[in-house]
Amino acid sequence: MKTINDFNFENKTALIRVDFNVPLDGDFNVADTNRIEAAKPTIMKVLEDGGSAVLMSHLGRPNGQKNPDMSLKHIRSTVSEILGVKVNFVEDCVGAVAEKAVADLQPGEVLLLENLRFYSAETAGDKAFAEQLAKMGDIYVNDAFGTAHRAHASTTVVATFFSQKKCFGFLLAKEIEAIEKVMRTGEKPVLAILGGAKVSSKITIIENILDKVDHLIIGGGMTYTFVKANGGQVGDSICEDDKMDLALDILKQAKKKGVEVHIPVDVLAANDFANDADTQIVDVDKIPDGWQGLDAGPRTLERFREVITQCKTILWNGPVGVFEMENFAKGTIAVGNAIDEATRNGAFSLVGGGDSVAAVKQFGFEEKVSYVSTGGGAMLESLEGKSLPGIAAILAE
């Protein structure tokens, strides 16, 4: 696996695919700088070698239209501030104007290209467009895990024009290593904590990881499909009735493979989907009509903590309650605390997938786990065992 450390960029121009698809507020200020900060080590390595960096990214979904609200010019000053160097900007990503801006770059300088998705050729994976992008650098670096599952011109096709002169940036390499640890090389016991609302959205992940884990914790809304499938009463809790046979099949497969499955035994139930609803703690299989389970109960959380703290490799994908509402966030916080404890005792912990990443950030666990993935869809497809086009393109000869 070639990483940026395998190259010296002295007097070279690095064409770096970054993921600067960041949220902007009403005044076009960057509302969350995490993705820019995550790309900094890769960009600085190039500059410190004595090279120049050309950054390409998308922002939003302009659908092939030049939409000024989605111009990357809005983030230029923030990128400059984070890198600590002046960042030049050019109002195109291909063509004569962009090529001149690249030609004028001096060692130690950074150029940010305009939004790639102003061209529909980007998402179409157009070869001619990728060839135009390839003119912008001597070495291609992919550091955008968030788009590694897309076979777009800038993430996949462009790599074919660089032969041996392509590599992973530090961020993408770290993402690959983190997933490898969970899926292949991690110390046992290995645990996967899967939460979220629906079994249907996690089927392929569950099926793919059953051969790799020793323990599986099921939480969140998925719980009630499993409980009802086993004959329990789930009241008005979210439940996929058409997936109950599948839930039973998952439990059967897990048993056959020697995987211990841990499902909540009690829940915090509410009489309305609202933070100020009346609540009661009930057994997970005895939720009264008119009530719905919105968080894990105290006995469940104690059991979960016992499992989590005895494991050496932990994947967390999905919250165990409606953490967006303060009164139903205790379960997700308790799981975070248990993972923190396990990590301090030497476990490797990986958090990935939109809602669990949001929870980790909201409750201050970012520095308390081993790694927080930057790519939602890419992370999920990796866990499903799919080959990601952006990664395969770098590994290809």
Q: Where along the chain do its domains lie?
A: 4-173, 186-383
- To the question of whether residue 356 is assigned a binding role by annotation, the answer is yes
Of 76, 127, 286, 377, the active-site residue reads: 377
- The three-state secondary structure class of 24 is strand
pLDDT number for residue 76: 97
Q: Are 317 and 194 spatial neighbours (Cβ–Cβ below 8 Å)?
A: yes
Return d(Cα 284, Cα 371) in angstroms, integer: 32
Q: Are 219 and 318 spatial neighbours (Cβ–Cβ below 8 Å)?
A: yes
Of the pLDDT bands very low, low, confident and very high (cuts 50, 70, 90), residue 201 is confident
Reading the block at residue 152, the tokens are 């777009």
Of 40, 165, 198, 312, the active-site residue reads: 198
Q: Are strands 279-283 and 266-270 parallel, antiparallel or unpaired?
A: antiparallel
Of the pLDDT bands very low, low, confident and very high (cuts 50, 70, 90), residue 378 is confident
- To the question of whether residue 202 is assigned a binding role by annotation, the answer is yes
Do 4-173 and 186-383 share a fold? yes
Q: 186-383: CATH homologous superfamily?
A: Phosphoglycerate kinase, N-terminal domain (3.40.50.1260)
Of the pLDDT bands very low, low, confident and very high (cuts 50, 70, 90), residue 112 is very high
- To the question of whether residue 364 is assigned a binding role by annotation, the answer is no
pLDDT number for residue 37: 94
Of 40, 135, 165, 354, the active-site residue reads: 354
- To the question of whether residue 344 is assigned a binding role by annotation, the answer is no
To the nearest 5 percent, what fractions of the chain are helix, strand and coil?
40, 15, 40
From 154-163, 195-204, 288-297, the region with the lowest mean pLDDT: 195-204
- To the question of whether residue 305 is assigned a binding role by annotation, the answer is no
Active-site residue, 35 included = yes
22 vs 38, 91, 115, 187, CA distance in Å?
12, 18, 12, 35
The residues, ordered by sequence, that sit 6+ positions from 346 with a Cβ below 8 Å of its Cβ are: 312
Angle (CA) 289-262-353 rounded to 5° is 90
Return d(Cα 84, Cα 319) in angstroms, integer: 36
Task: Tell whether the model's pLDDT for residue 354 goes beyond 70.
Answer: no
- To the question of whether residue 59 is assigned a binding role by annotation, the answer is yes
Return d(Cα 156, Cα 124) in angstroms, integer: 11
- To the question of whether residue 297 is assigned a binding role by annotation, the answer is no
CATH number of 4-173: 3.40.50.1260
- To the question of whether residue 117 is assigned a binding role by annotation, the answer is yes
In the chain, what percentage of residues exceed pLDDT 90?
85
The DSSP symbol for 32 reads -
- To the question of whether residue 382 is assigned a binding role by annotation, the answer is no
Q: Are 313 and 182 spatial neighbours (Cβ–Cβ below 8 Å)?
A: yes
Return d(Cα 56, Cα 154) in angstroms, integer: 8
Active-site residue, 188 included = no
- To the question of whether residue 236 is assigned a binding role by annotation, the answer is no
Compute φ and ψ for 19, nearest 5 degrees. -110, 85
Of 35, 228, 243, 368, the active-site residue reads: 35
- To the question of whether residue 355 is assigned a binding role by annotation, the answer is yes
Half-sphere exposure of 101 (CA within 13 A, CB side): 22
- To the question of whether residue 354 is assigned a binding role by annotation, the answer is yes
- To the question of whether residue 26 is assigned a binding role by annotation, the answer is no
Active-site residue, 186 included = no
Q: In 117-154, which positions are buried (b, 16+ CB within 10 angstroms) versus exposed (e)?
A: bbbebbbebbeebbebbbebbbbbbbbbbbbbbbbbbb
pLDDT number for residue 387: 86
Of the pLDDT bands very low, low, confident and very high (cuts 50, 70, 90), residue 294 is very high
pTM flag (> 0.85): yes
Name beta bridge partners: 283: 266
Longest alpha-carbon distance in the chain: 70
| Mean pLDDT, the chain, integer | 95
The residues, ordered by sequence, that sit 6+ positions from 32 with a Cβ below 8 Å of its Cβ are: 22, 23
If you average pLDDT over residues 291-296, what whole number do you get? 97
**Number of helices followed by number of strands (H, E) in the chain:** 14, 17
